[in-house]
Structure 1
Amino acid sequence: MPGPAPVPARETLDAFEAAKGFMPRDEGLALYAAAVEAGALGLPLLEVGSYCGRSTLLLADAARRTGTVAVTVDHHRGSEEQQPGWEYHDPEVVDPELGVMDTLPTFRRTLFRAGLEDRVIALVGRSPRAAEVWGRPLGMVFVDGGHTDEHANGDYEGWAPHIAQRGLLVIHDVFPDPADGGQAPYRIHRRALASGAFEETSVTRSLRVLRRIGHGI
């Protein structure tokens, strides 16, 4: 019988609650448990779409706990729904000189204040370009980037092949009902299952955890 799910350090959870971002606590705890499981493989944990570092805190804590590292991939210019005039726009993360979104300074402050900078390697740039030059297996890929089909498929196609056997693919904002949210993450979730390379291991609201069990992506 499995024991209780691992939980992050109290200070990490406090920092998670205080950080800018959209992930609720129960999904965060599920993400953390997946990251600890994947971290036991001794391979990096990779996140696509970091925003201001809310979920990154959990991956960094899990990396510290398991002796690995968290890698984040984000251009830090904000996704579609975070641009001016859209629902999730936050003027506090607009560069005052350039007038464009720049979440990188807030992201770095979030990690620094939590004492977790040493467990994170931040790649600043577009996900497909980073995936093209990435050259080693990953214990986990957490997809939480742009929610258009172009971006979601690009993240899946770029990073899923790097997941080691028994490694985890975690997808956020999976909404089977279109009334609840955009469908691109749901479509890559279905695509991953249909490939035969992944089996689903847990569901927490919109967070889906899949384990790699095959070679076809």
Structure 2
Amino acid sequence: MTTDLLAAAAVAPGFMPPDEGRALYAAARAVQVPGPLLEVGSWLGKSALYLAAAARETGRQVVTVDHHRGSEEHQPGWEYHDPSLVDPLVGRIDTLPGFRRTIAAAGAEDVVVAVVARSEVLAPLWSTPLALLFLDGSHTEESARRDQDAWVAKLAVGGTLAIHDVFPDPADGGQAPFGVYQRVLGSGEFTELPGTGSLRLLRRTSS
């Protein structure tokens, strides 16, 4: 049930505050155009469960795209590095087992489709218009711009673009997602919807 998925999302490991997660769920639930919900950047599945709750209610699928090797800040020597997530056989982070446990424990395997790939590798193979696109991948300027270039054009007119960790003030966080937000809004193809915290929401009005 939706309430079970939302409860599971609230306690799942991850970095999304509860109010932003609920806002993502509400935005996904409110989309009126057909198509799947796709997120770029999944970590251990917290945000995927918020999307899954909306998908369960609206008869959609959630597609998660992540190489599951962690972003820059998750690597050894960085602030968010977790040694327990390192695969000892290859000596690299592997979040896929934890992601799968999160989705399975919540009973969301019927609505969540996990694609293990770099987003820019999958994007050229993707042709289905998206109802919602959630950008929450690596936050370097290069990778954030790459995700924008690869995926925003695949959002259907009337669909919703959600961007996480948008901080106008550099003192609050990195500026790469804020740059994506500014470029997309400046394109003239989107109108802004009410956001929550660092989550920005925009609706595509033209292509």
Query: TM-score, normalised to structure 1's length?
Result: 0.93
**Deviating more after overlay: 8-17 vs 101-110:** 8-17
Q: Which residue of 1 aligns with 2:53?
A: 61
CA shift, 1:20, in A, is 1.2
Q: Spell out the pairing of 1:33-72 with structure 2 (5 A cutoff).
A: 33-38=26-31, 40-72=32-64
CA shift, 1:9, in A, is 2.7
What per-residue deviation string (whole Å, max 9, x for no partner) do you get for residues 76-134 of structure 1?
00000011111111122111222210000000000000000110111101111111110
What per-residue deviation string (whole Å, max 9, x for no partner) do you get for residues 133-164 of structure 1?
10110001000001011111111111111111
Alignment partners' CA distance in 2, 1:150 and 1:42: 31
CA shift, 1:51, in A, is 0.3
Q: Which residue of 1 aligns with 2:6?
A: 13
Q: Spell out the pairing of 1:1-217 with structure 2 (5 A cutoff).
A: 9-38=2-31, 40-215=32-207
Structure 1 runs of 4+ with >6 Å offset:
none
Counterpart code for 2:67: H
Q: How many residues of Structure 1 are paired with residues of Structure 2 in the alignment?
A: 207
Counterpart code for 2:19: D
What SS is found at the alignment partner of 2:15?
coil
Alignment partners' CA distance in 1, 2:145 and 2:130: 18
Q: Which residue of 2 aligns with 1:4?
A: none
Counterpart code for 1:195: S
Give structure 2 stretches of 5+ with no counterpart.
none
CA shift, 1:16, in A, is 1.3
Alignment partners' CA distance in 1, 2:170 and 2:85: 29
What is the Cα-based RMSD across aligned positions, in Å?
A: 1.1
What SS is found at the alignment partner of 2:90?
coil
Contact 1:12 1:57 in 2 (8 A): yes
Contact 2:159 2:204 in 1 (8 A): yes
Alignment partners' CA distance in 2, 1:102 and 1:27: 26
Alignment partners' CA distance in 1, 2:179 and 2:140: 10
Give structure 1 stretches of 5+ with no counterpart.
1-7
Contact 2:131 2:160 in 1 (8 A): yes
Counterpart code for 2:15: F
Contact 1:35 1:140 in 2 (8 A): yes
What SS is found at the alignment partner of 1:118?
coil
Task: Say which structure, 1 or 2, has more relative contact order (CA 8 Å, 6+ apart).
Answer: 2
Query: TM-score, normalised to structure 2's length?
Result: 0.97
Q: What percent of counterpart residues are identical?
A: 57
